[in-house]
Structure 1
Amino acid sequence: MTSDETLDKLSHIEWRMKWKNLLKEAALQLKMKQKEVMAHERELAKELKAKEQAHKRQECEEKKQWEVEEHKQKAQEKAAERAKKAAEKAAEKEAAKVVKVAEKKATKAQKAARKMAGGAGKAPKHARQKQGVKIMDLASESESEVDISEIESESGSVGQTVPISPPLAPPTLDPITTEPINVFTNDLG
């Protein structure tokens, strides 16, 4: 081998060594860059995961808040419905009381009208004892005068004639107050 060939081989070996060193260095730098990129990707993934978890937490909180508000609203609606039913029930009771009072007033008015019409009902016991006369149903009588001698008497006032007015129609009742109305004057009476 000549010296030129040896020099060529040496230069070639040097050249190969330089390239090997360069490639090793490049491989090390490439690995370091890959590690940096992977670390950065992991950080990004952690941030993304944290954002997703925060978003999920916020959605859960909003859903819970909505459920709580919906529950409160339903409870308020139920309470309002119960109050409405209670008010209706109270109104029904009040209406029933008003009806009972109206019925009592109407029966009192009818009794008063019967008494005014000629005593279709029985007179009180003390009134019968004062007069000493048994009260008969005068509404069925067609005569305008009745001879007391025909009626049994306990007091001894026999033979007197007593004028009796014909029975009157029951008075017209006011629909609101259920009191008798004087139809001739349109006044409550």
Structure 2
Amino acid sequence: MPRFDPRRALRPALRALSGYAPIEPSEEVAARYGVPAERIVKLDGNENPYGLSPRALAALAGHYPAHRYPDPDQRRLRAALAQRHGVPAECIVAGAGSDELIDLVFRAYVEPGDRVVIASPTFGMYAFDAGLYAAALVDVSRRDDWSVEREPLLAAAARAKVVFLASPNNPTGTALPPPVVEALLASGALVVLDEAYIEFSH
């Protein structure tokens, strides 16, 4: 009997994917430019260059049952977010970073061949997951000022299952105008507005 061949057994959509290429670690960037690694601020990774707040450190130093699994429904976190944003807690899903939440959208809603709209350049996980789930990726071009053209975007959304847009966009920093978002919501597609960098826009 022939031995198991993991490459042949792999789903065709996965065989066609190239590996995800993250940016260089801070240490390598620091060495190239001759600066201390702690001076590198990775805005693309949405990292806090200042470290934990004193309140967070105090909370971790206190009674923190790290040996126990946390509440799988994240009830306290979702209740706090619901209060802060004025929405019902049932409308909030918490995850381990945006990568997990993006993947959950694909797992729940995207079938092979479904159209998924993005506007490059943008966060790479949308296109990566589209390939992972064998979706048909539709990439709407941006103008020279990095804004997205409304009509081509709406036309693509009308034929899509999901639209992924970051606002402000990673890496360009451009935000979507509210009227464009409202028009997208009327397109019939699931609209994922990724606001991971919203604090940088204030």
Q: Name the TM-score class by shorter chain.
A: under 0.3
TM-score, structure 2 as length reference: 0.18
Structure showing greater radius of gyration is: 1
